[in-house]
Amino acid sequence: MEAIITATELADELAGPTPPVLLDVRWQLTSPNTPPFDGRAAYAAGHLPGAVYVRLDGELAAAPGENGRHPLPDPAVFRAAMRRAGVSAGRPVVVYDGGQGWAAARAWWLLRWTGHPDVRVLDGGLPSWPGTLSTDMPEPAEGDFEPAPGAGRLLDADGAAALARSGVLFDARAGERYRGEVEPIDRVGGHIPGAVSAPTTENVGPDGRFLPAAELRDRFKGLGASEAAEVGVYCGSGVSGAHEVLALAVAGIPAALYVGSWSEWSADPSRPVAVGPDPQ
């Protein structure tokens, strides 16, 4: 099953007999001193025709706490959000955001992890769409999707630490955060000992679209993701890390996600922290 879809392919499918459910999950990471991004207002100003808005904060993630800034959502809340948007197991889903791809990837990962068989991300997000936008507020028939968590591997802090020793654990954050040179959000800078720096921004081209699968495969293999290696990913709070898992899927490499990520790891003073460019 393909993990991404182009705007041209999406337009063709929307005009076909079984159009996919469209989810608009626009979201932006903001600092503690910056007003939060209003994704619902952006959606209301213009969205793909037929798309339903889904909130990352609150519907694709629970409230911040001891498990990080974007822990797994409450299953009942996620189920209700997906059904409200018209998601059913027997109908394909396409997710998009404002172009960065992080929030769309989070929705993609959650739907895949909870058992939906056909979910794709619009490559390049809303900026890639050549058609007109709509301000209509669709009210789709309620879906019947029943989430069944566990369709993919999920890492906790101990599992991430173990994988950094036994396989390959990618850190999807910017290199300067990995090295501990800056840390704008969390308690301390640095990385999980043994993790390899692999910024998710290097998975896309200048247009925000994913690099070709062969280039992504070469990139990840050059960073240690051999066919024999088990692969995992973490980031700041489990959002950009989902984008890296998506990039790995495009490359044909399965990967687990540590949802708590650095926001959970760094909050525990007993967890070791490595700094500098060396994984250890």
217/227 Cα distance (integer angstroms): 11
User: Among the options 235, 248, 250, 253, which is catalytic?
Assistant: 235
Tell me which residue of 32, 62, 67, 28 sits closest to 185, measured CA to CA.
32
**Residue 2 backbone class (left: φ over 0; alpha: ψ -120 to 50; beta: rest):** beta
Q: How many CB atoms lie within 10 A of CB 147?
A: 21
Active site residue 143: no
Q: At what angle do helices 102-113 and 240-250 cross, to 10 degrees?
A: 70
Distance of CA 175 to the CA centre of its chain: 19
The three-point CA angle 58-63-112 to 5° equals: 55
Run of H or E residues at 165: helix 157-166
Q: Which residues are catalytic?
A: 235
